[in-house]
Amino acid sequence: MSSEKENFDLSGPLHLTCVDWTNVDHRRSVAACLVQGVYILERDRQDNRQGSQALAPSWWEFFQFRLHTRLVDDADHSIFGAIYEFIPASNCNHLKNGSPHFVIAFRGTLTKGEAFVRDFQLDVHVIRNGLHQTSRFEIAMQAVRNTVAEFGNLNNIWLAGHSLGASMAMLAGKTMAKTGVLLEAFLFNPPFFSAPIERIKDKKVKLGIRIAGSFLAAGLAVALKGSPPAEESNRRSVCSFVRVGPVSVCTSGRSHLLGVFRNQKIRCILIPSANLVVNLVPAQDFKQAHGIHQWWRPDLNLQSKVYNYR
């Protein structure tokens, strides 16, 4: 039996009948919905919902996308990602300036169903900085390379992911950046780990990281201001919009960018700019704070700041 959150008509952003691609809130909302579409694709598969019973298509068709490719894990055959193609209807006055041509989206961990074991294994690989060694990432990486090679207009290809999927999207973008290919990425609630945070001496930096809650590239929160109550800080959520590019920023000096997203063998990451967005609305629990569904709500209280590292 499906939940209300799986049904676009019940929980999707129905107010976005015509997307303004120059509006950052619209872009964020659409990217989040496309990630949600991957989650529901896998749930449709597990529950054998097909044809008119399938719930996933509404999550992309509402925004004039079509499903180009499913990305399937070779170990458990679960759907972990999707490639969407934007095909606006001729009768819709979409503001197409800034719209993507393709979006490659990755879901996070499913805590229920047959995909959980494999997802949990991938979570462990993230903790151990070994995601790049997994077959799922290789499949994802090949999909990104093929899309770029075939369609080539780099400004119109986005990466998007939530939680584990955000780690996948970030690593894919980082890998492409090493070859000079810059892809815009939308990272929702990427994981971070507490141990490296304690090695950061700046108290404001550590506070900003904890406010971010689950932001993988923790150092991007370095300039966040304010001292929210401790009981609220763990309930706040974060997403980021990152263009992963060819400027290397190391752990030394003011950047702290390596943070908790790093491979111990690679001392620099390539993030010349990022728009860090924190949802200041307190959540009832961690599940709500970490959920993808919050990012298309129209009533968010957001704090955002653009960081440029040159």
Domain that holds residue 25: 4-308
Range with lowest mean pLDDT among 90-94, 147-151, 177-181: 90-94
Checking DSSP bridges between strand 79-86 and strand 65-72, what pairing results, if any?
antiparallel
The string of pLDDT tens digits covering residues 97-122 is 789 999 999 999 998 888 999 999 99
Phi and psi at residue 309, in whole multiples of 5°? Answer: -115, 105
Asked if residue 4 has pLDDT above 80, the reply is yes
The string of pLDDT tens digits covering residues 133-171 is 999 999 999 999 999 999 876 568 999 999 899 999 989
Count of all residues that appear for the chain in the document: 310
How far apart are alpha carbons 47 and 64 in whole angstroms?
A: 26
- Identify the pLDDT of residue 5: 92
Measured from the Cβ of residue 123, the count of other Cβ atoms closer than 10 Å reads 17
- Identify the pLDDT of residue 45: 97
Please count the structural domains in the chain. Answer: 1
Confidence of residue 1 (pLDDT cuts 50, 70, 90): low
- Identify the pLDDT of residue 273: 64
